[in-house]
A = this chain, B = another copy of it.
Amino acid sequence: MTYFDNFLKANQAYVGLHGDLHLPIKPKTKVAIVTCMDSRLHVAPALGLALGDAHILRNAGGRVTEDMIRSLVISQQQMGTREIVVLHHTDCGAQTFENEPFRQYLKKELGVDVGDRDFLPFQDVEESVREDMEILKASPLIPEDVKISGAVYDVNTGLISEVK
């Protein structure tokens, strides 16, 4: 028994409410949200997004990696988005470890030597938002006129606060 089976059952009820929609493939707001995989953040209700409104990109920490840039280039050049919101959050898993001890743990636990691989942990959540906004601004693959905002989500209250 997997949770996947439960998800398929829950999905049956969702289909009944969904109806036969034919929304455009291009997001209505032209926004891409870059955020964390954390289970306590449900992006659509937290930001008031309807189906079809915005691209939602999520990895561990909501960090701007090479793969995030790949996704944003497709989002912008193929799907017409023109704005990015970097949204990190309080009590993040990326704040629970540091690279070197984590690498040693993986070697011991999984028998894998990951070399100097960076798992992108951080200490200060506002600082990590600013860092990732800077990476976006510096990237030649992100056009100058794309609007970039940053914010922190509070997992206890649901409040989003802008980071300048």
- A residues bordering B, Cβ < 8 Å? 2-4, 6-11, 13-15, 17-18, 20-23, 25, 27-32, 37-40, 42, 44-49, 51-60, 65-68, 70-71, 73-75, 77-79, 83, 85, 91, 93-94, 96-97, 102, 105-106, 109-112, 114, 117, 119-120, 140-141, 143, 147, 149, 151, 155-160, 162
Other-chain residue from B54, B66, B119, B158 in contact with A14 (beta carbon distance below 8 A): B158
Other-chain residue from B15, B59, B147, B160 in contact with A71 (beta carbon distance below 8 A): B59
Oligomer copy total? 2
Given contacts A11-B160, A31-B3, A77-B109, contact A96 B25 (CB under 8 A): yes
